[in-house]
Structure 1
């Protein structure tokens, strides 16, 4: 009797224990792990599928950005080219044209009434001063507001040399300025212009501060000679012209030096590039 109840007791206990163990096993093993893995797997799949989608969206966005950016850049270049082609009649070029028109007017005023009338010489000085002032402004305006054109590149130096050459020749023709001064200044200007064209295949000779100071000193000196000055002002203009001539010669020699150096560097670079391609 004692064994039966024990086994009977054990049976229910085992019966209890069986379901409990099954339930706990299910709770600890199958039931939690299966949903957890399923959920985590699903989340991983969602994340994995989201990454390519995000990549596609980002790629599409970047592609659209690059495409729109390239289109914008191309459109900007085309617009800029159109502006440059259509901007011949801009302010900078108009100032250059004014300087060209002033040349014959200046000569007429300079030689009016024999070329020695103080009043006509004053009018000629005014025309020369306007030409020199426009020379200062047209280049600055062209660079500052992107108004550089092929016409301006050609016409601007021509206008500069035309007004200066006309003034020097008139002064020497009237006997106010020695011819050798005119020959030195004009010879330097024409020589440097020719030199620039000869070495342009190797590079561009930049304008120096000495060149700008030379231009300023020439303008002041020639302007003082155009006016009918007397006394100490007449003496002062002689020394100003002497400074202008010295700067003309010194800066001219410096341009020659730069041209020689630029040519040597260009030849060396071409030789090195040729050797590299042959190797």
Structure 2
């Protein structure tokens, strides 16, 4: 049987079983349709206002606003987690420095056995490379926290060894200055509109300058101590790591050109903690040399 090529006359897509009557459907009845069915009421237009009666926001904008709110909430949790870890790291480091500085037998042992410094530096360097360069270990729990703990202990021993070479007065003064610098830089980064993350190339050059200056200083001081060169290197290092602290802090905020992923809380703590400790060690070289 062949199929018709066109629908029969009077065919209506809305109800193919009942074609519309001649002359079309009647107008709506005032009291509703026959049979007691109520007359359909007009539906209100899609909502486009604010919940509290504010300015109109389209549905797409409302979706993006909710997404932005979720992003901010995740970022705030991320920041709190990072600074909690940093606080624990600094407490451990300060405790190790206090033991190495105020306990005379420990201080004397460290000064006589410089190998403690080199061993702690080797452990610090290896764990830093693993956490900084390998995404898997630093994101996988609990290995990321285990590696970060080893890194913190190694850097604490290394810093404590350095602090044992200086007077107690110089160590306390440098701790206070470092705390003030860290707080001021953090507050400044949270308030300023200056975007340090947009100057990535400049910070790369600054890091190269610090590294080259450090190599030259180490070679020269190995043969002859030059006071002004040592102070120049310490001053450049203190300024450079203060700027690095500002850069790394803004990476955490998430409202700049470059940001840090909320999954990288271990890496964020690693960076800021290292910046603060290096600021302390460079200030110790400057202040301690005057004792």
What is the TM-score when the length of structure 1 is the normalising length? 0.33
Higher helix share: 1
Greater relative contact order, per chain length (Cα 8 Å cut-off, separation 6+)? 2
Higher Rg of the two aligned structures: 1
TM, length-normalised to structure 2: 0.32
